[in-house]
Amino acid sequence: MTEKVFEFINTNNLIEKKDRILIGVSGGADSVCLMHLLAEVYKDTDIKLFVVHVHHGIRDVEADKDEAFVKGLCDKLKIPFFAYHYDVKAIAAMEGLSEEETGRKVRYEAFFDAAKKNNCNKVAVAHNKNDNAETILLNLFRGSGIKGLTGIKPLSTMVTEFGCITVIRPLLPVTRKEIEGYLAERNISYRTDSTNLENIYTRNKIRNIIMDYAAKEINNNVIEHITGAGANLYEAYNFIEKNINDRFCAIVKEKQGIYEYDVNILSKEDIIIQKGIIRKILEQVAGNLKDIEAGHVNDILALGSKQVGKKLNLPYGMIAQKKYGIISIGKSSNLVSNRHIEKPEEEDIKIPGRTYLESYDIYIETEIIEDKKNKTFPKNSCMKWFDYDKIENTLKLRTRKTGDYLQINSQGGTKKLKDYFIDLKVPKEERDQVLLVADGSHILWILGYGGRISEKYKITDQTKTILSMKIKNAKEK
């Protein structure tokens, strides 16, 4: 087994010259094996080893004995020993976390602190092949994506609230049975955590019930098969991630913490690339993907077909917002602070022709239709049709002005644009950014927020000349 682990370490560059490695040792078979194996392999080298033990304050006397046991092993092997004490039950109750999650949190807090104090550049933990298989199943049951089904990695950089930790897992290529065999051959004792035998924790249920049943009743090589499937998925995941990263760079633009993409361009990608790009944006904005669910990604994709101005509230204070053919994603504070940066200039609309609005990166395309026979006028939020002969002034593409109004019924009733925005609950800070097509003070078309057009200009049976107007993102061909 020593040769297998040593080869795994070298293949994955887990340990290099002059490394200072902190080993997490609970006193159980796995961590005791890891400590002895590293001490054996790297004896009389420039690799320096340290041990940290975390007392969770749960098993009282039994936990005290575990600590004393690990300290005794370290004294025998002449490895510096550091113990950390926590009241996991109290912390879990105070922070509203499970004891499992809290235990993991305090362990990494201890790892980071001990590594920092001893100038250690890596932390070694004793995850083995069984742990890997259990993790894959656990993630599957929790509804994980492909990444979660790829299993535990030999080396990873963990970003915690306490800092960054480089974690290595030298025992990943060996099973728990091999570990116990290694210890038995060398007559090395270890402690058994009684809570590992209790099926009150999720992982214990998978380990003691599901995995045990699968090995006995389905296939006794279940560990190898599950971890093998994880390895295959990891290859597929890397291929997908490469393509996601390539398309992310081509499609997504970032400015002042706000990420934007063209809905039309993204929609042409395969759905797995679309979802991957969205998740990558969310990870960039939030800093991690914890609490980001598949539903959040699907809601953002669905936002692309919604009307202009629609937005989603997301975890970590993020907002996704629909603009004119564009989705913007960022922290709410960034979106608010950037909302008024570029107030568009007023533009005369060319009829017929194309009018570009640089600050929004869109253009209005217009056409005169003299004969409406055999013409269909489907409902479309980005394209509208008007009675051209009723237009009195040069049409303008602009934002609101004092005195703006629109006709709301066929009897000639009007409403101030300000009141219309209030009725529609358009946020006050967004009203100056809503684009309008205006005939003097009369608003023909409100671009977004329902896409309302004035009743005065609607096509009727008496209409002779039609003006078609279409709004397009400037990137559209």
| Positions at the binding site for ATP | 26-31
3-state percent breakdown (helix, strand, coil) of the chain, nearest 5:
45, 20, 35
Annotated binding site: 26-31
Which residue type occupies 303? L
Task: Taking each helix axis as running N to C, give the angle between helix 29-41 and helix 2-11, from 0 to 180 degrees, rounded to the nearest 10.
Answer: 80
Round to whole Å and give the CA distance between 26 and 45: 25
Residue 240's CB is within 10 A of a number of other CB atoms, namely 16
| CB 444, CB 454: distance < 8 Å | yes
Specify whether the CB–CB gap between 264 and 304 falls below 8 A.
no
Strand intervals (E) in 226-373: 253-255, 258-262, 311-314, 318-322, 326-331, 347-348, 353-357, 362-369
The residue type at 221: N
Three-state DSSP state, 52: strand
DSSP string, 123-171: EE----HHHHHHHHHHHHHTT--TGGGG---SEEEEEETTEEEEEE-TT
The closest of 431, 340, 350 to 397, measured between CA atoms, is 350
- 365: β partners: 354, 470
Tokens 């682990």 sit on residue: 5
Report d(CA 152, CA 138) in Å as an integer: 12
Full DSSP string of 358-380: TTTTEEEEEEEES--TT------
Contact 439, 392 (CB under 8 A): yes
Task: Report the distance separating Cα 354 and Cα 434, nearest Å.
Answer: 20
DSSP state of 17: T
Which tokens sit at 174?
A: 């060996």
Distance CA 263, CA 382 (A): 13
Give the separation between CA 47 and CA 19, rounded to whole angstroms: 5
